[in-house]
Structure 1
Amino acid sequence: MFKNAMVIGKFYPPHAGHAHLINTAAAQSDNVSVLVLGNRFESITVADRAKWLAAEFADTAGVQVIGMRNDCPEDYHSEEIWKAQAELMRLALKSRGVTAVDAVFSSEEYGARLAAAFGAGHVLVDQSRTTYPVSGTLCRDDLGAAWPYIIGPARQELATRIIVVGAESSGTTTLTTGLTGRYRTRFPRLADVPEYGREYTYKKFEALQRGKPDARLGDMVWTEQDFGRIGARQNAMENAAADACPLVIADTDSLATTLWERFYLGERSYGSFHAAGNLPQRDLYLITDHDGVDFEDDGWREGEHRRADMTEWFKETLTDEGHSWILVSGDHERRMATAVEIIDLILARRSEFTSPPWATRTVLEGVTA
């Protein structure tokens, strides 16, 4: 066993190969300092990368993650650059009370030289990437293909999330279904995220009818607890979709659940607010316009007379919460065109990983993105 080990990397983004390296170090060391070294020219902040790794290893004893900004160029042939890089690492360790390391764990050729600079031994781990055939380069080149290898906390925040909301019978499910079908050709693992509140309503009504066979929809009594369960389950479904695919298209969310709670129980009911207070980043809300859409009474809807109010509530709430939203109007083709135009641009931006000119690429033999 080593006393103090060090693992360094850009972790841009952190993936299963990185996790394997850190776990290997943790299994052979009392303490492992993971240095996240990122620069200003990269699209993901050092703070985010460090946060994701800290979450991933929160339950692993002895592992501490240290984020350190590093704008120093890379040049493996320059003694001066080697010294500059090593000093950044030394000070990052010193800032957390680590004054010496006796092992450097790495999957790179430079690991031995780095270990020598710290007077430590070098442990080479899976340099050929046979255990996990993934690299940061592969992830950046094709995030969709590499998605299963990205660590869980990073997947949750890197996923592009498009949320479709709207009043009853305003076309939310139709638009969500259309968008999901279109983008599934590009993202085969794109999951359906339906409106859980509707499924919950079916189950609640079935339970009511078991005790009262002649019950009607209006006989159901809604509670704060009902909306709390709906909101929590909606979050879980959305996050499961983000775990599976870098794109999420959801037919409502727990923030919308708070408005339906308001609709049924009034201003002073807060059962779903906890769920809505723990939302990950939203890239865009699409509000389906009720105007020009005939109300379709499928036997489960009760809000025809309040569709205008609900549409306004969505606009007000998303504005107050600081979210990006677009009102989509017109026929289905026009709504799809509006949504696709902006979603394509968001996807292009979210999947772009910038790097400085000195950055090296790791190409794995026999592995294609």
Structure 2
Amino acid sequence: MIRGFVLGKFMPLHNGHKHMLDVASANCDMLTILVCSIASEPIPGALRYAWMKHEYPHARVIWCDEELPQEPQDENDHEFWRIWRGVVKKYHPERIHRVFGSEDYVVRLAEEAGGAEPWIVDKARETVPVSGTAVRSKPFENWSYIPDVVKPYFTKRVLITGPESCGKTTMARELARVFETNWTPEYAREYIEDEMDNDMENLNAHHMNVFCERHYNQEDYAWRNANKVTFSDTSAVETHIYAGTMLSEEEATKVNAHEYLDASRYDLVLLLKPDIPWEEEAQRTYRDRRDEMYELFKNTLDEFRYSYVEVGGVGEERVERCAALVRERCRKINSG
């Protein structure tokens, strides 16, 4: 049996790594992948380990989160190599026949691993011209080199929120079209229409808890399958507010919307002003309280420490204003 060994940070795993790992898999009978991380690195080691387990279920994937020296001081740093020789032996006690990688250190690592055969794959990055540094600093420019399992880490979430009849659904749909991605419709709206025949009088805490959970899960599905950014029409913010305005005080205490109010969940929150004409719908009840409800939204977002941008205007101007805010946010993310 030929045993192969790969050691790396995989921060993040990208298609250059996958090319090297595919070569390794094809040229040994048992491949061990040691994912190494330290606490100060920007991408959690546990996440990198999970990505690798997902992509290479046939390999023996091991996670090393020990605080170890990352680079030798010079070619005569014997202590560095003594430490890493011990690490390799600890995590791969069996004989190693081949050590694979894309950097020069593979030669020395193979030597320290008992005289294994070094295999350096695509060192010049000609087959897959990408690096972990490039992906981290400009993920959207390198999107095609990022595996699907890794893309959600870089995908940005945008929440469209605001009171009734302020254009949330239209905005989420239009932004998804502009950015060629997906969006999450308001689950409560669909549920009330399909399951309750728009019977607003009998709404209770159970219904609102269902709204929170299912909308949250649908957002996560969209996030895992989005193209760089995903948009959400409403969130638990709405449920929290309407529980307080539509239910009795006792019934409102049974609504668990607060469990889903996480300001860190969204990279951008767009609060739409109610400055467009009111459109009558069966589920809408606050036509004469639009400004009051808008202030309630602002107060709630402030209370739960959401950062948000207020957006007004009509038609294409309104859409372009929101699109510009999304582009600016993505530009900041894509510039390191």
- Following the alignment from structure 1 to structure 2, what is the Cα–Cα distance between the partners of residues 236 and 125? 43
- Following the alignment from structure 1 to structure 2, what is the Cα–Cα distance between the partners of residues 225 and 134? 52
Q: Deviations over 1:163-221 (max 9, x none)?
A: 1101010122232233223222xxxxx11322122111111134xxxxxxxxx7344x2
- Aligned amino acid, residue 266 of structure 2: R
Q: Deviations over 1:233-260 (max 9, x none)?
A: 2223322332232111221223433333
Confirm or deny that 1:229 pairs with 2:210: yes
SS in structure 2 of the partner of residue 79 of structure 1: coil
Match of 2:36 in 1: 35
Confirm or deny that 1:55 pairs with 2:50: yes
Q: Aligned pair in 2 of structure 1 residues 347, 79: CA closer, same or farther (>3 Å)?
A: same
Asked if structure 2 preserves the Cα contact closer than 8 Å seen for 1:157 and 1:280, the reply is: no
Asked if structure 1 preserves the Cα contact closer than 8 Å seen for 2:6 and 2:101, the reply is: no
- Pick from 86, 102, 109: which aligns with 1:108? 102
Higher relative contact order (CA 8 A, sep 6+): 1
Unaligned runs of 5+ in 2: none
Confirm or deny that 1:339 pairs with 2:334: no
- Following the alignment from structure 1 to structure 2, what is the Cα–Cα distance between the partners of residues 90 and 263? 65
Match of 1:203 in 2: 194
- Following the alignment from structure 1 to structure 2, what is the Cα–Cα distance between the partners of residues 278 and 68? 31
Asked if structure 2 preserves the Cα contact closer than 8 Å seen for 1:9 and 1:37, the reply is: no
Unaligned runs of 5+ in 1: 39-44, 185-189, 207-215, 354-369
SS in structure 2 of the partner of residue 257 of structure 1: helix
* Most deviating of 174-183 and 18-27: 18-27
Q: Deviations over 1:300-334 (max 9, x none)?
A: 31222443343233222322332220111233445
- Following the alignment from structure 1 to structure 2, what is the Cα–Cα distance between the partners of residues 177 and 257? 21
- Following the alignment from structure 2 to structure 1, what is the Cα–Cα distance between the partners of residues 67 and 140? 24
Q: Deviations over 1:56-75 (max 9, x none)?
A: 3568676224375877599x
Confirm or deny that 1:326 pairs with 2:309: yes
TM-superposed CA distance for 1:273, in Å, is: 4.1
TM-superposed CA distance for 1:114, in Å, is: 2.0
Taking structure 1 as the reference length, the TM-score comes to 0.68
Match of 2:143 in 1: 146
- Following the alignment from structure 2 to structure 1, what is the Cα–Cα distance between the partners of residues 280 and 44? 48
Match of 2:300 in 1: 317
- Following the alignment from structure 2 to structure 1, what is the Cα–Cα distance between the partners of residues 277 and 9? 54
Q: Aligned pair in 2 of structure 1 residues 112, 125: CA closer, same or farther (>3 Å)?
A: closer
- Following the alignment from structure 1 to structure 2, what is the Cα–Cα distance between the partners of residues 200 and 148? 39
Asked if structure 2 preserves the Cα contact closer than 8 Å seen for 1:176 and 1:249, the reply is: yes
- Pick from 151, 159, 163: which aligns with 1:163? 159
Taking structure 2 as the reference length, the TM-score comes to 0.74
Equivalenced residues, count: 320
Q: Aligned pair in 2 of structure 1 residues 218, 113: CA closer, same or farther (>3 Å)?
A: closer
Match of 2:265 in 1: 281
- Aligned amino acid, residue 173 of structure 1: T
Asked if structure 2 preserves the Cα contact closer than 8 Å seen for 1:26 and 1:32, the reply is: no
Match of 1:356 in 2: none
Q: How does 1:118-157 map to 2 (within 5 A)?
A: 118-119=113-114, 121-122=116-117, 124=119, 127=122, 135-136=130-131, 139=135, 143=140, 146=143, 149-150=146-147, 152=149, 154-157=150-153
- Following the alignment from structure 1 to structure 2, what is the Cα–Cα distance between the partners of residues 327 and 57? 41
RMSD: 4.2
- Following the alignment from structure 1 to structure 2, what is the Cα–Cα distance between the partners of residues 168 and 201? 15
SS in structure 2 of the partner of residue 302 of structure 1: coil
- Following the alignment from structure 1 to structure 2, what is the Cα–Cα distance between the partners of residues 27 and 321? 53
User: Identity, % of aligned pairs?
Assistant: 19
